[in-house]
Structure 1
């Protein structure tokens, strides 16, 4: 039974990697709710009004996903509950959330993490960090073309991306729920067949190593 979670900033390619890995391992894929999220676009338009609502939406859906994932046989999640606090902290620091909202969110997250710790399987088998330069992330955000994610003419959004990107390595350094694997998205391009093969080799080796230590 292998539970894999993808981690990385907006535009890292988590959904694409999830599709590849879940297909190759014949496992279930869990995707972030974007297309059916009525709050996301509102957040980009007015972050101070919608940041707290958005983070609660994501926290709820990711909690549901990780609970389901930890009892399934094989699955891959394109983002997990473990990163949520980083996004919330950035929104708080930028003034998009009040201290009361931040406290409420943190208490709720702590309660959810206690629930996860009480499950027979307490965490994923592998976290894959898709790490790259800010330029690479911005290029991919532009390429996928969601209008509300674009930075042109929106310095506040650019500042949000810069701050988020600048904090990811620190978040990853503190992550301790499972073994990890770093994939350099500046070098790896899943549009190249050889890179797909290379990624799967790395994933399978990391899972094999983890299973040997269980």
Structure 2
């Protein structure tokens, strides 16, 4: 069995923080969604002009996530900081909000469906449940320039989408952790124990 663990949640929920702790705890390689330097360049362009860069940004992320999940399975395990399984959250939001045309969204959706046909689900999906207030607080603390220019109202839409996605997700076992009430760093021992116990049950 490939030990593939995915961590998903809104921007600012603490995915990378948890992933880095799990990388040490589980001795699994972390595949970070910002590892490609082109990703941050495109994110900066996207946040400054969403109409121009939404489709390009989404296809870039989809391509990167497909590449990563293939590499994870090839190496028989790994950690994914966000993954292809939640990718459509952002594309559907961008389409609904008018940043991606109908034709662009259909092109993206068809490509995603084709990729998912060749993608194995993870052993465990970890969902970090996080309020908009907490996410914005974390975003401001880390201070990425391209995120700081984004108004708070923009972050409310992904939160709505993730809440719905969490309710409907069925591809694999899902463990939800409320990070509004658990501090990932201060309570890391408890959180890692919860995750470790869940993984052991799934590997039996």
TM-score by structure 1 length? 0.90
**Higher RCO (CA < 8 A, seq sep 6+):** 2
CA 1:70–1:34 in structure 2 vs 1: closer, same or farther (change >3 Å)? Answer: closer
1:207 to 195, 199, 202: 199
Q: Which residue number in structure 1 is paired with residue 49 of structure 2? A: 46
1:75: Cα distance to partner? 1.1
C-alpha separation in 1, matches of 2:93 and 2:35: 20
Deviations 1:49-81 (A, max 9, x none): 000000000000000001111232331111100
Q: Which residue number in structure 1 is paired with residue 7 of structure 2? A: 6
1:204: Cα distance to partner? 1.0
1:88 to 91, 101, 109: 91
1:106 to 106, 109, 118: 109
The answer as to 2:173 corresponding to 1:162 is no
The 8 Å contact of residues 14 and 184 in structure 2, kept in 1 or not, is answered as no
The 8 Å contact of residues 7 and 127 in structure 2, kept in 1 or not, is answered as yes
C-alpha separation in 1, matches of 2:75 and 2:170: 22
Give 1:123-202 correspondences, 5 Å limit.
123-150=121-148, 157-192=151-186, 195-202=187-194
C-alpha separation in 2, matches of 1:109 and 1:140: 30
Partner SS for 1:128: strand
Partner SS for 1:115: coil
C-alpha separation in 2, matches of 1:18 and 1:101: 32
C-alpha separation in 1, matches of 2:198 and 2:98: 39
Partner SS for 1:176: coil
Gap regions ≥5 residues in structure 1: 117-121
The 8 Å contact of residues 31 and 78 in structure 1, kept in 2 or not, is answered as yes
Partner SS for 2:125: strand
The 8 Å contact of residues 63 and 112 in structure 1, kept in 2 or not, is answered as yes
Q: After TM superposition, what 4+ stretches of structure 1 lie above 4 angstroms from structure 2?
A: none
Number of residue pairs matched by the alignment? 201
